Amino acid sequence: MSLSRPKNTVATRAPGRTLAAWWQAAPLTAVFVLFFLIPLALILMVSFWDFNEYELLPGFTFKNYLAIFDGCGNTGELCVTFKTYLSTFKFSFLVWLITLLTGFAVSYFLAFHVRSSGVQTLLFVLCTIPFWTSNVIRMISWVPLLGRNGLVNQSLLGLGAVDTPVEWLLFSDFSVVLAFVHLYTMFMIVPIFNSMMRIDRSLLEAASDSGASSWQTLWNVIVPLCRTGIIIGSIFVITIVMGDFVTIGVMGGQQIASIGKIIQVQTSYLQFPLAAANAVILLSIVLMIIWALTRLVDIRKEL
């Protein structure tokens, strides 16, 4: 009785299929290179140029990077650059925390307390209504409400809750955070809601049968399974807030500084190399934050 050698079952990939895959990826690759990599390379290049009041001076110098941190090590207090970054981090953290709590609560209600898929869709569409108008209009809409003679102050005065109008409602840190939360909470709701809808409901029943309370089920089952949505929403919110300058300018009354606002001002004064250097530093910090968040979960594997 002769034994035949097993045939090699590993299929050889056809050259035509490999070439077709490259052709399919070529358009997206071209868009990525043209609109992402090349602009980033230009910003990095310009950040090492010199400039004066009239023109850009191509060359290679660290002058712009040194100017950003000029005086940061000579005084006992924080320099302007560090204070500005701390202010930006403060807004990013507060907005991230509030949008996370709000987005998780809304997503939990839609996913687990609304039984009808039709009602779920209706309520989800209602959450997207603010996106039907521009960000600037949504920000300006807060001015008649929060201003010194706005609806909120008039109501408080009418009820006798205060004797004078509340000044910190508008053009303050409060109004900036409020506008950010209003604008970007949806970026947290969508990925978390998507993660919750993919949870197997039998796991919740198993946790309940095992004697777990509602809070224990929430913390030990739902939150870990929503980790991917939380990370994706966090990346969206943090990266947008870190670079935003319009919201801070409008709702802060042009009195609150942020890195994005500094870059916008430098650009308006034609200080392009200095603005490019600030943009490179900001981008590096944002990329480090994204890297740290993606270490918590393998997004490509979970999606």
Structural domain includes residue 134: yes
DSSP-derived letter for residue 198 is T
Which tens digit of pLDDT belongs to each residue from 130-170?
A: 778 888 888 888 888 888 888 888 888 888 888 888 888 88
**Segment among 17-26, 153-162, 250-259 with least mean pLDDT:** 17-26
Residue 236 scores a pLDDT above 90: yes
Half-sphere exposure of 134 (CA within 13 A, CB side): 5
| Domain interval for residue 189 | 77-302
Q: What is the pLDDT of residue 9?
A: 46
pLDDT at 10: 46
| pLDDT at position 61 over 70 | yes
Question: Which whole number is the average pLDDT over 230-257?
Answer: 90
Residues 6+ apart with CB under 8 A from 219: none
Number of H helices, E strands in the chain: 18, 2
CA 128, distance to chain mean position in Å, is 17
Residue 281 reports pLDDT greater than 90: yes
pLDDT for the residue numbered 252:
87
Domain assignment of residue 27, yes or no: no
HEC profile for 75-129?
CCCCCHHHHHHHHHHHHHHHHHHHHHHHHHHHHHHHHHHCCCHHHHHHHHHHHCH
Tens digit of each residue's pLDDT (9 = 90 or more) over 66-97: 888 877 766 666 678 888 999 999 999 999 99
Is 182 a domain residue?
yes
Tell whether 124 is covered by a domain: yes
The tally of domains found in the chain comes to 1
Does the reported pTM lie above 0.75?
Answer: yes
pLDDT score, position 51: 86
User: In this model, does residue 301 exceed pLDDT 70?
Assistant: no
Taking residues 270-280, what's their average pLDDT? 92
**In this predicted model, what pLDDT tens digit does every residue of 99-127 receive, in sequence order?**
999 999 999 998 888 888 888 888 888 88
Mean pLDDT for the chain overall = 85
The per-residue pLDDT for range 27-49, each reduced to its tens digit, is 888 999 999 899 999 999 999 99
Instruction: Sort strands 50-51 and 56-57 into parallel, antiparallel or unpaired.
Output: antiparallel
Maximum pairwise Cα distance, the chain: 105
DSSP 131: G
pLDDT grade, residue 14 (50/70/90)? low
Q: What is the pLDDT of residue 129?
A: 81
pLDDT at 188 over 70: yes
CATH number, residue 136? 1.10.3720.10
Does 195 fall in a domain? yes
What distances in angstroms separate CA 278 from CA 42, 154, 257, 267, 272, one per listed residue?
A: 14, 42, 14, 11, 10
Residue 36 lies in a domain: no
238 pLDDT higher than 90: yes
- pLDDT confidence of residue 15: 56
Look at residue 287 and tell me if it is in a domain. Answer: yes
Q: Is residue 217 part of a domain?
A: yes
Percent of the chain with pLDDT over 70: 91
